[in-house]
Amino acid sequence: MDSQHCKMNGDAFQESRYIEDSPNKNGVISLIFSLKEEVGALAKVLRTFEEKGINLTHIESRPSRLNKDEYEFFINLEGKNVPALDQIIKSLRSDIGATVHELSRTKKKDTVPWFPRSIQELDRFANQILSYGAELDADHPGFKDPVYRARRKEFADIAYNYRHGQPIPRVTYTEEEKKTWGTVFRELKSLYPTHACYEHNHVFPLLEKYCGYREDNIPQLEDVSNFLQSCTGFRLRPVAGLLSSRDFLAGLAFRVFHSTQYIRHSSKPMYTPEPDICHELLGHVPLFADPSFAQFSQEIGLASLGAPDDFIEKLATVYWFTVEFGLCKEGDSLKAYGAGLLSSFGELQYCLSSKPEIQPLVLEKTSVQKYPVTEFQPIYYVAESFKDAKEKLRKFAQTIPRPFSVRYNPYTQRIEVLDNAKQLKNLADTINSEIGILCNALQKI
């Protein structure tokens, strides 16, 4: 794939385009492109694919939400002839005037994977989801429900059209959706006082007070995002489905959490085969309002930027056993802080029983531990504290083979690549200024 050079603070850094952290299943490549509504426009595009010998395996269309005179097309195609595909994408953009979004492609070998440098660049991959719109697996509870599938399409459209800086569109949830939320909310809230960690229980009443967390109300992502920003600088961004591990972790580097907005099917309110708004708002959000946990989450994201594929897999596994399914010590007791536990009535009880295996959090071991996705975890890892987990993560990140270090600048909302003397001097000046403030404060205590 073509690489390009971008300038940052006067220094060149080679950038390669990167889409997913592993090859697509069966070599399938996915594209979304927009065309003006005119006779023969789609036929011209399809003829271009045919002439280059590229086979389309799936195509669907919908009116564009951005431009009323355009249609959007989602296609899957065989990834056997990548050089020809590069030519086609270039032709679609320059000759036909189509807007093309490439959803899945593997990267060039021996290059540093592309990663976002500014928070606005999250727009580049926020729609590169591993499932699209209402495309549900056959075993999904809502697979045979056309009303639910249409509803999922509405949520997918909201996420697809969202851009950084915009307010997150508000959703009018149906009575059925609110009833499903209410069942989950009521059952989980009864367990939190005895099963959830202190940080979760400390924040939850604040969410009820300021964000509309109630049994009869599904909170709006915009309200919750504003609350998080006032606490730790974290914010929510709507997403239509699962992102690749690389893309999802990259968002955390900017303190951005990609959150679903749809809710699980009403036929099974206590089960979901995928993240939904119950998982996001009840499991993840309370901990993102805690400064120490927010810092830990961001450092996982920062460690992922430019990391090789095998380390992305390891970091994703660390994320799984901490942010999703982590336990922590509180005195002589164990408590849950992982969102997968705090949003599952059954597993929240199971994880603190005598049934699973409990191990201390040792990232060299944790990062390579295999785990099931569709059943309760047979093993959980216990952190001494968020501070301890953060220190272990920093040491683990030092083993990642990349030719630079990175830091997040909250003032510019950019990632600074620390690979030259100028960048290091700027960092030293910033640290020196902060130390000066600390010394001055200590003298007044």
Instruction: With residue 42 as reference, give the H or E element that holds it.
Output: helix 41-51
Contact between 102 and 89 under an 8 Å Cβ cutoff? The reply is yes
Residue among 161, 33, 166 nearest 96 (CA): 33
Query: In 3D, which of 398, 139, 168, 167 has the Cα closest to residue 272?
Result: 139
- Rounded-to-integer distance, Cα 255 and Cα 101, Å: 24
Task: Name the token pair of 92.
Answer: 């679609």
61 CB neighbour count, 10 Å cutoff: 12
Give the active site residues.
279, 284, 324, 343
Compute φ and ψ for 407, nearest 5 degrees: -145, 155
Rounded to whole angstroms, the Cα distance separating 34 from 63 reads 9
Q: Which of 325, 300, 327, 322 is nearest to 311 (CA)?
A: 300
Would you say 343 and 355 are in contact if contact means Cβ atoms under 8 Å apart? no
In single-letter form, the type of residue at position 170 comes to R
Alpha-carbon gap, residue 110 to 313, rounded angstroms = 17
